[in-house]
Amino acid sequence: MIPNSRWFPMSLADRSAWFDNFDTQFQFYAGALGLNADIAGVTADNADFQSIAATTLAVQNFASAVTQFRRELTEGDIGDPQPVFPAEDFEGPPNEVAAGIFQRLDELRDRILAAPAYTDAMGIAMGIVATGGGEIDPLSVQPEIELFAAETGYLFTVVVIKRANADFWIVRVAPVGSTNWQNMGSFTGKSTDINWPPPEESLPVQLQVRVQLRKNNADYGDPSNISLVTVNP
C-alpha cells in the first residue's frame, strides 16, 4: 500500500527527504506521544529506505552508462578511444527490515494522531498532515515525468508523478527539432510504455516528450516540462 498523497509525497526524491525529516522529528516527539518503543523501528525503516532510494538512482545511472558504452562500442569509428565499461557497486539495505515500510508508516501515523498529547504543530513538523485543505488549485498543478528507454524496439516508458486529482493523462511526443507533436494516447496510473513508429532508416531517434493531465475531459493544470529520450532500433 501507499499512504495518502495528501500528506505523503509521490516522487522518490521527495519521499527520501520526507522520511529523513519524519525520522528526526519523531525521535523528538515520541516521548511526549508515548511512542518511544517505535523509534528504533522508524530509524531502521528510514535507513533502509534511504539505501534503496540511493541504489535505485545508482541503477538508473548505471543503465544509462551501459547504454552509452554500447553506443560507443558499436557505433563509434575505428580509431576512436576505447570505451570503458562503467563500474557498479550496488548493495542491499543495511538493516534488512521486513516488507511493509509504507504500511508501518501509515499505521504509526494513525497512532500518532490518536495520542492524547498530539498537537497539530507536531503533525505539521513530522509531515503527517496536509497543510492545505479542500480541492487542489488546478493552477498549481504540473506533473513531472521520468523517461526510460528500452534497449531496442523504439520503446520507452513514461513515469508520471504529481498527478494531483487528474482522471487520466495524455502523452505527446515529437522528434527533436520538430514541432509536430503527436498524441500517443490517454493513460491512467503512474506509468505506461510508448512505442515510437520506426523511421525508414534503422537509426536511433531522439524524442521530446511531455504530458498533459486531464480531469472531467478538460486539461488539468499545466503540461509537464519537456523531457528528452533516445529510442533505439
Percent of the chain with pLDDT over 70: 96
Do 169 and 68 have their domain in common?
no
Do 156 and 111 have their domain in common?
no
Domain final residue pick, 103, 126, 149? 126
Q: Any idea of the CA torsion for 62, 67, 68, 70, to the nearest 10 degrees?
A: 120
Do 195 and 119 have their domain in common?
no
Cα separation, 188 vs 166, in Å, equals 9
For the domain that residue 187 is a member of, what is the CATH number? 2.60.40.10
Radius of gyration of the chain (CA): 22
Q: Which residue has the cell 541503477?
A: 59
pLDDT at position 110 is 94
Range of the structural domain that residue 86 is part of: 12-126
Q: How many angstroms separate the Cα of 34 from the Cα of each of 38, 75, 115, 218?
A: 9, 63, 8, 48
Q: Any idea of the CA torsion for 28, 30, 52, 64, to the nearest 10 degrees?
A: -40
Do 121 and 143 have their domain in common?
no
pLDDT at position 57 is 86
Q: Is residue 133 part of a domain?
A: no
| Number of compact structural domains in the chain | 2
Domain final residue pick, 126, 158, 178? 126
Over range 51-55, report the average pLDDT: 93
Asked if the model's pLDDT at residue 130 lies above 80, the reply is no
Q: Is residue 53 part of a domain?
A: yes
Do 96 and 173 have their domain in common?
no
Could you tell me the three cell numbers for 143?
Answer: 506533473
Sequence-separated (6 or more) residues with CB below 8 Å from residue 113: 123, 128, 129
Which of 9-18, 106-115, 169-178 shows the lowest per-residue confidence on average (mean pLDDT)?
Answer: 9-18
